Every structure is written in C-alpha cells, then in structure tokens.
Amino acid sequence: MTEQTATLPAAAHTGGDIANTRKVFIKTYGCQMNVYDSVRMGDALASEGYVTTDAMEEADLVLLNTCHIREKAAEKVYSALGRLREMKKERRANGGELMIGVAGCVAQAEGEEILRRAPAVDVVIGPQTYHRLPQALRRARSGERVIETDYAVEDKFEHLPKTDKAQIRARGVTAFLTVQEGCDKFCTFCVVPYTRGSEISRPLSQIIDEAQRLVDAGVREITLLGQNVNAWHGAGPNGESWGLGDLLYRLAEIRGLARLRYTTSHPRDMDDRLIEAHRDLRALMPYLHLPVQAGSDRILKAMNRRHTGEEYLRLIERIRSARPDIALSGDFIVGFPGETDADFEDTLRLVETVRYAQAFSFKYSTRPGTPGADLGSQVADAVKAERLERLQALLLRQQHEFAEACIGRTIDILLEKPGRMPGQLIGRSPWLQSVNVDAASSQIGDIISVRIVGTGPNSLFAERIER
C-alpha cells in the first residue's frame, strides 16, 4: 500500500459531557489502512472520555500509529519519541501529565525494543489488538508499562464501538473501510506477513453494516482497504462463496453510495468476477492500484511475486478490455538484491508498455526478519539512487501526460472540501485526481459535471458545466 504520514482530524465529541475530558493526538504513519485504524482507535478512546485534537501540545495522550515497511519510517518514529520524551518531562515539571502510546506495525515488530529505547512510552499496542487500547491505558495509568502485541483471538472489529453519525460527518464525504487484513504472499522484501499476520477477511454482514452506517451519515464514496484487498472472500447471503467482485456488486446496491474504490490489490488475486465488476458497475471508479514491483522475471522470482512480467501485462490487457477508460497505478522497488542494469531496463520497458497515470517508487531497503535481508548481491546505494531517479522521471512524465490528456474532457467530480482560494472547492475525479473548481461550500458532497481546463503539479483545474 502507498505510504503517507497524517494526523487524525479533530472531531466534535458527541457522547455527552464528560467531566475532565481528555484529549488525544493521533499521528499516523504509513498506508491508508493505518489511517482507517487511527480513526477506529479514536472511536475506541471516545468511550474513555477522549476527544481527538489536531494540536499535539494540548493532548493528554499522544498516540503514534506506525509503519514498518521501510527503515526510515521506523526511525522517524524513534525520532518523534525523543521529542515526546522532552515534552513529557516538561509537562511533569509543570504539574501535568502526558501519556505516550505506540501502535501499528513498528509496535508489533519491536514491542520490547520500543520500551528499551524509549522509556517515556506507556503503551505499545499492535494492529490486531488496538480494540484493547482503553483497557491498556487504564493499566498504564496505574503505573504499568503495557505491551499488547499478541495476535487477538477475538474479532477486533466486533469489539470496536460503532461510530455515530456526527463523528462520521465531521470526517467528510469520503471514507475508508477495511475489509481484509494480513498477507499470505510472503514477498521476500516485505514485513507485512510478520506484522499484520495471515490473510483474514471481515464477514460480509460487518462490511455491509459499516458501509450502510457511513452512507446514512452522508458518505458518498467508500474505499475498501486490505493488504491484499482482492483476496477478500466470504460467505454470501445463501452460504455461497463470494470474492471481492461479488462484494462490490452488493455494495453498489446501497442507495446513496455514489462511488466505490479499493486498494491495494495483488495481480494473483485479480479474478474474472472482479474484472466484470469494473465492466458493469458505474459506481466502481475507473482507477486501479495494481503493484507489480519490477519488470524483470528474474527479480520477480527473487521477490517471490509468483507472476511474470508478461502475465502482468496480459492481465492489464484484460482489465483495459473490460474498462477502456481505466487508469492504472502501481508500486515499484528499485535496487532489489541482485538487480542488474538489464533487470532495471526490463522495469522501464514494462512501465513504458503499461503507461501509468500514477505510481509510487522506492529504493529497496532491507527489513530485518525478511528473506531479502539475507540475500547477497546487495545493490550499492549510489546505483539505487540513479535508477530511482530515472524511473521516477519516466513515471512523472506519464503522470503529466495523463493529466494533460484530461484537458478539454467533461467529467463528473465529487466535491470534497474547501480549496485554497475563497469560493473554490476541491473535488475528486474518477481517476483520483484533485480537481479545483469554483463552487459554494454548501455543495460539498455533490457530484457535478465539469470541463477540465488546466493542470497543476498535483491537481487539475476545471470550470462547471450546468446540466
């Protein structure tokens, strides 16, 4: 999944007046699933009298929801903990208190190490146990340093409180919804199977219930999340076996749900029914994030991807045949151990063939505990940097070409939030681009027709078309 850093937006507390209400600041590192998890941790903490804040300085609890995909992501967390240690010391000197928690994948992988390196931390809690966060905090307030990283036997989603309508509305007209967690693919570069566990699918009834509550509160677009989201499977209404395609058909029946997306997919789980959903469902947006990681069959085998470059390209052809206007996004790793100049050229050729609307690319970094960390023939950092620069230049050119091709087109956009300029809103195109257009704030949540008139570095500009 794509990497990002975010803070959980502050939302009004709606559970009634609670004496001595505490405030929590949640900093999110990593993928969209961590963003979803941060929101649900905020929901769980609401039962303890916490309200979210976007000002760390006024928080009684600072929670870092962490990512372990790349080395720098983990080190960012330890750097942040060093600053929080000083903040905690200063707070105590002034007669106050500050609790510090670490959640997410770094917590899962390095629980004891976090407590050793960062004595100021009160709670360490993994991604499968964050429904236990309220109890963990109660234990920590009594003086215990708590680690909760055992894989939970119970279904954490069943134990999380249901988000009320006011909280959902405060978060906007788009929402994430986790339907699948974990990974059984064991790519040799990846820590996810060790931090998130094996593939688990949420039951259909849970997903439909949460989606319905989101739509009832005004959400217009839902993005389904999973480490391998298209590995989702479950029992249908009559006990038959369903996959992600069947789930999308069912969600598209929810009245008021205008748009559906999903991420992140694995090429091996892209089945016929899912491709048919792209063909048939107007609500399913024509945008697909389908990582390939490399173009060389030799490197793909070393990565344990279990598909070839040619198989990936044939899959893209099938998808585009079903949905000609679909835009593709991907992930790439350069400098995997043993990658030669010829292997890298294979990656460039694959990118030229596919023509991505957007993509994410990274230098390979060893992650302790993964098979890739023990491979020989590590690529020199200077070589990785040069290859990454070449790849990113190609991907950026393709992204700009895709954006330029949108000029003059008439499309529908979902208005999401205020823009930088007065009287301007930011909407989202079917292909996930930000679109700037003049519109009133009362129209947030509307889907309007616009004509694209220009491009910026990371967005499009449009004029309204009255229909």
Measured from the Cβ of residue 381, the count of other Cβ atoms closer than 10 Å reads 11
- Let me know how many helices (H) and strands (E) the chain has, helices first: 15, 22
Beta-sheet strands, E only, within 50-152: 50-52, 61-66, 99-104, 123-125, 146-148
| CA distances from residue 94 to 5, 58, 98 in whole angstroms, order as listed | 31, 13, 11
Q: Say whether 405 sits in a helix, a strand or coil.
A: helix
pLDDT of residue 21: 81
Mean pLDDT by 10 residues, the chain (467 residues): 54 42 90 88 88 92 88 81 94 92 91 92 92 92 91 74 79 94 94 89 96 96 96 95 98 98 96 98 98 98 97 98 98 97 98 97 89 91 97 98 98 96 96 97 96 95 89
Measured from the Cβ of residue 433, the count of other Cβ atoms closer than 10 Å reads 23
pLDDT of residue 9: 54
Measured from the Cβ of residue 11, the count of other Cβ atoms closer than 10 Å reads 21
pLDDT of residue 17: 40
End-to-end CA distance of the chain: 37
Query: Rounded to whole angstroms, how far apart are CA atoms 180 and 202?
Result: 6
The CB-side HSE value for 311 (13 A sphere, CA atoms) comes to: 15
